[in-house]
A and B are shown apart, each in its own frame.
Chain A
Amino acid sequence: MACLLYCATAGAAPGENTLKIGAAVSLSGKFAREGEFLKEGYDFWKDAANAAGGIDIGGQKYKVEIVYNDDESDAQTSARLTEKLITEDKVNFLFGPYSSGIATATAAISEKYNVLTMVPMATADSIYQRGYRFVFCPSPLASTGLLPVLELIESLPSKPGTIAIVGPDSLFPNITAEAARKKAEQMGLKVVYTAKYPQSTPDLSSVVTALKSAAPEVVLATGYTQDSLLLVKSMRELQVNPKLIGLAMSIAVPDFRDSLGPVANQIMGVDYWVPTLTYTGHVVKDSTTYASQYKAKYSKDPTYQAASGTAGGIILQMALEQARSTDPKLVREALLKLNGETFYGKVEFNDRGVNTAAKLNVTQIQEGRPTVVFPVEVREKPVQYPKDAWK
Chain B
Amino acid sequence: MLSQTIINGLLLGGLYATASIGFSMVWGVMGVINLAHGGFIMIGAYVSYWAFSHFGLDPFFAIPLSMAVLFVLGYFLQAVFVNRVMRTSLLLSLILTFGIDMILINIVVLVFSSDFRSVNTGYSGSSLQIAGTLVPYVRLATFVFALALASAFYLFLRRTRAGQAILATALDKEIARLMAINPNRVYALTFAFGAALAGAAGALASMLFPISPSMGKEFIGAVFVITVLGGIGSIEGCVLAGLLYGLVQAFTSLVLGVNYQNVVAFAVFLTILILRPRGLLGQRFFGEIS
Contact = CB atoms under 8 A, between A and B. Distances in A.
The reply, when asked whether chain A contacts chain B directly with Cβ atoms under 8 A, is yes
B89 interface: no
Contacts of B118: 229, 259
Interface in B249-290: 249-250, 253-254, 257-259, 261-262
B258 A201 contact: yes
Given A202-B219, A229-B116, A238 B253 contact: no
Contact of A263 (B113, B125, B215): B125
A200 B262 CA distance: 11
Contacts, number: 102
Contacts of A229: 116, 118, 210
Contacts of B117: 259
Given A237-B125, A237-B136, A28 B114 contact: yes
B81 interface: no
Contacts of A259: 116-118, 120, 210
A261 interface: yes
Given A33-B115, A198-B261, A206-B254, A28 B120 contact: no
Contact of A205 (B12, B113, B217, B218): B12
A355 B212 CA distance: 35
Contact of A390 (B1, B125, B209, B218): B125
B187 to A, nearest CB: 30
A197 interface: yes
B139 interface: yes
A229 to B, nearest CB: 6
A59 to B, nearest CB: 44
Given A33-B113, A197-B258, A239-B134, A203 B12 contact: yes
B258 A236 contact: no
Interface stretch (A110-118, A207-215, A271-279): A207-215
Interface residues of B, number: 41
Contacts of A237: 125-127, 134, 136, 138-139
Contacts of A201: 218, 258, 261
A30 B120 CA distance: 22
Contacts of A261: 120
A237 B214 CA distance: 25
B117 to A, nearest CB: 8
B221 to A, nearest CB: 10
A201 B250 CA distance: 13
A226 interface: yes
B243 to A, nearest CB: 15
Contacts of A30: 114, 214
Which of A196, A200, A205, A229 gathers the greatest number of chain B CB atoms within 10 Å?
Answer: A205
B4 A209 contact: yes
6 contacts: A201-B218, A204-B258, A206-B8, A206-B254, A263-B125, A390-B125
Interface of B: 1, 4-5, 8, 12, 106, 109, 113-118, 120, 124-127, 134, 136, 138-139, 205, 208-210, 212, 214-215, 217-219, 249-250, 253-254, 257-259, 261-262
Given A202-B215, A229-B118, A229-B210, 10 more contacts: A169-B259, A200-B217, A201-B258, A207-B258, A212-B1, A233-B124, A237-B127, A237-B134, A237-B139, A390-B125
